[in-house]
Amino acid sequence: MTSSPASGKNLLTAEEFWELPESPEGGRMELVAGEVSAEMPVGERHAALAAELAALLLGFVKPRHLGRVYVELGHRLFSAPDTIRAPDVSFVARPGPIVERYVDVPPTLAVEITSPDDRESDVALKVEEYLDAGTERVWIVRPRNRTVTVHRPGSDSHTYGTRDALSSADAAFPVEGFELSLEQLFAE
């Protein structure tokens, strides 16, 4: 373990984090600047949206050989101290060989679905981390509001509602043709 002189805390490396046992409560764990951050298991709406988004993205990506789509894959965003984030859904345009652990590349597209107890400051931090690491697009999906905010590098963001559709440009896909109706996505 490494120690941060400013905090005096023992910080985990990505390798040490990988060796931790799974949380007995379930849920997802991430490594944020060397410290473990645990999240509660998600609810049904959250899980259903993640599955739907992964399927829709995969349906466009796979036949066009654009890269890979993942669910809750750990992406190392920063080193020393290490930060590993696991977006609900991610797309990587230039993936390397498949490995057993997290990947050392940021996602091209990171999709985070908010839960009722998420704090806006935590959501904003994730967006900032993804973009600072080189992620081209970050989607913040807000089921309660039935909106998706698409963040791009340079503080450019736009919020779309149920009358809108997301496009290839919103997903950072290099080819046109992707269209995701938010009315259909949020239909129950």
Domain ranges of the chain: 42-185
Can you give the pLDDT at residue 40? Answer: 66
Q: Are 46 and 116 in contact (CB under 8 A)?
A: no
Instruction: Tell me what the pLDDT averaged over the chain comes to.
Output: 88
First and final C-alpha spacing in the chain: 46
Q: For 42-185, CATH number?
A: 3.90.1570.10
Nearest to 160 by CA among 145, 148, 170: 148
Residue 6 confidence (pLDDT):
44
* pLDDT tens-place string over residues 85-129: 999 999 999 888 998 889 999 999 999 999 888 899 999 999 999
